[in-house]
Amino acid sequence: MPSNYPLFPSLDSDKIRNDLVPEILQWGLVNGLVMYPSNHKLDSTSIAPTTVYPTPFPKKSFDQAVSVQKAYNRLYATISQDGHDHWLSREISKLAKFDPDFTGKLWDLYQRAVTEGISQPLALGVFRSDYLLDNQDLEVKQVEFNTVSVSFGGLSTKVGELHKFLNDSGKYTTTGDVFYNQVIPVSESAELLAKGLSEAVLKFPAAKDHTVVAFIVQDGERNVFDQRIIEYNLFKLYGIKSVRITIHDVHLKTVVDSKTKRLYYLETGEEISLVYFRAGYSPSDFKNEQDWENRLALETSFAIKAPNILTQLAGAKKIQQILTDEAVLKEFINDEDTLDKLKSSFVKIYPLDDTELGKEAKKIAMTSPEKFVLKPQREGGGNNIYKEAIPGFLKSIPEEDWSGYILMELIKPEPTTQNMVLRGNCISNEPILSELGVFGYVLFDNSTIYTNEYAGWLLRSKSSSSDEGGVAAGFGCVDSVLLY
């Protein structure tokens, strides 16, 4: 441990249970650090799973992640513009065959949208690039790049405010003194993501007072409060109203003008300027054909989409794998400095296809699986296959389907014991690992990038004994950083 590694307050467990936990629960409920429990009933255990303290994170590595965000935004916007002789379309059409249940369906939908006509050239990307800290060289390494349903920007700000309050008001000590003698940073994501949505609305050709933003949400979403924080900021800071619609209700709650393709919210007659997807990233979000038709109606409407189908597809894990090939990356980035910065955030990712590299990967997946994670083209946690489970899994499916997966080197962050996790009324003292997310947004059309901004950060932590880290999925918790 480096000598400047921050110390952990030594409170006894009675003090934590009797004083600190009620502080956290009450602060969480008052300030919206909340998530529905699985039975959807609110009580004092409803605050989102959180750490008791902020987690130490090297400043240099944190700054590294923040400093590449705009380059990543630009890269994914450029790919989504589908230039270079339709590079993205070509890659996705190949991938579609190996994942007919989801990538294939979205690809078909995109092609139908093109046939019907795409009426809105503007697109908004609201992205989150996720990293784990490689403990060998203290560089952050990218886990994945999310282009749809980017969550926890609201709660991240809340948990930073919680930790800052607990420290600055002396709750981490028995004497009422400040424990961490430094500023606890608070992510500005709750405001900056609202700003991102507002930029799209302001560029939309209609008076902002007469339009609304439609949040497309999951039926039974537990992470409602995270989303509502963004909605409240959108209204408070920019005077922009929002409505919440499930993908199942789009045909009941909206109507498209067949001539202008403008999209209206039926209840109030207001025009929808921006459709912000917080759902639609998983096959289970689409329950029947009507839901797919609803997605198509939104895609062909004049409303701006965040994201449109191509931008969503650009976030496929297969695309992330292909971009680790320097020759491909160079097609999209010509500045050497940016290229080097992006490359230093990659770990090795292999295809599992019939290319030379793919053949090599098929061998190492069988001989040294303990170094890898196998990923399908899915989002939202709980889909990956880890280490020793990889060979058995691959053997259980036909080899021609392996191309739908990528094989990624495991990143090995150092667990810390300098924290505790509060989930419901339970405190757990296990070592934790943290994943840093950096938010960004980018507004673009086929030829131009209009706005490209960094939009705050997120730290999620999980017990080091579990492979996955989804908070809503019950594997992890929200956290904040103590930079050193």
Helix (H) or strand (E) holding 273: strand 271-277
Q: Is 380 a catalytic residue?
A: yes
What Rg value do the Cα atoms of the chain yield, rounded?
22
Residue 377 labeled ligand binder: yes
Q: Among the candidate windows 161-169, 367-375, 376-384, 413-421, which touches Mg ion by CB under 5 A?
A: 376-384
How many residues of this chain bind Mg ion (CB under 5 A)? Answer: 3
Which residue from 82, 91, 99, 130 is in contact with ligand ADP, where contact means CB under 6 A?
Answer: 130
Nearer to Mg ion, 144 or 414 (CB): 144
Structure tokens, 267:
């209840």
410 binds ligand ADP (CB under 6 A): yes
Catalytic residue among 15, 23, 97, 144: 144
384 binds ligand ADP (CB under 6 A): yes
Which residue from 109, 143, 303, 304 is in contact with ligand ADP, where contact means CB under 6 A?
Answer: 143
Q: Is 379 a catalytic residue?
A: yes
How many residues of this chain bind ligand ADP (CB under 6 A)? Answer: 18
Catalytic residue among 231, 460, 461, 480: 460
Return the one option of Mg ion, ligand ADP, none that residue 427 interacts with (CB less than 5 to 8 A, by type). Answer: none
DSSP 137: T
CA distance 141 to 132: 6
Q: Is 151 a catalytic residue?
A: yes
Residue 382 labeled ligand binder: yes
Residue 138 falls in which region: left (phi positive, over 0), alpha (psi -120 to 50) or beta: left
Binding mask 450-479 for ligand ADP (x = CB under 6 A): ------------------xx----------
β-bridge partners, 406: 351, 375
Q: What is the DSSP string of 154-178?
A: HHHHHHHHHHHHHHHTTTTSSSS--
Task: Provide the pairing of β-strand 55-57 with 481-483.
Answer: parallel
Interface positions, 143-182, toward Mg ion (CB under 5 A):
144, 146
| Residue among 5, 128, 131, 9 nearest 58 (CA) | 5
373 binds ligand ADP (CB under 6 A): yes
Return the one option of ligand ADP, Mg ion, none that residue 199 interacts with (CB less than 5 to 8 A, by type). Answer: none
Q: Among the candidate windows 140-148, 152-160, 198-206, 306-314, which touches Mg ion by CB under 5 A?
A: 140-148
Nearer to Mg ion, 383 or 451 (CB): 383
DSSP 21: H
Structure tokens, 414:
């150092």
Nearer to ligand ADP, 50 or 149 (CB): 149
**Helix, strand, coil fractions of the chain, as percent rounded to 5:** 40, 25, 35
Which residue from 34, 75, 132, 472 is in contact with ligand ADP, where contact means CB under 6 A?
Answer: 132
31 binds ligand ADP (CB under 6 A): no
| Residue among 68, 73, 56, 48 nearest 154 (CA) | 48
Which residue from 33, 379, 458, 476 is in contact with Mg ion, where contact means CB under 5 A?
Answer: 379
β-bridge partners, 385: 374
Q: Cα torsion for 380, 385, 387, 393, to the nearest 10°?
A: 180
Which residue is associated with the tokens 């976030």? Answer: 315
Burial of residue 97, with CB atoms counted within 10 A of its CB: 0-12 exposed, 13-18 middle, 19 or more buried: middle
Residue 279 labeled ligand binder: yes
The tally of CA atoms less than 13 A away on the side-chain side of residue 365 is: 29
Residues 6+ apart with CB under 8 A from 101: 283
Which residue from 144, 168, 270, 293 is in contact with ligand ADP, where contact means CB under 6 A?
Answer: 144
Report the interface residues with ligand ADP, using CB under 6 A. Answer: 130, 132, 143-144, 347, 373, 375, 379-381, 383-384, 408, 410-411, 435, 468-469
- So which residues are the catalytic ones? 128, 144, 146, 151, 317, 375, 379-380, 460
Binding-site residues: 128, 144, 146, 148-151, 221-223, 227, 278-281, 317, 375-384, 386, 408-411, 435, 460, 462, 468, 471-472
Report the interface residues with Mg ion, using CB under 5 A. Answer: 144, 146, 379
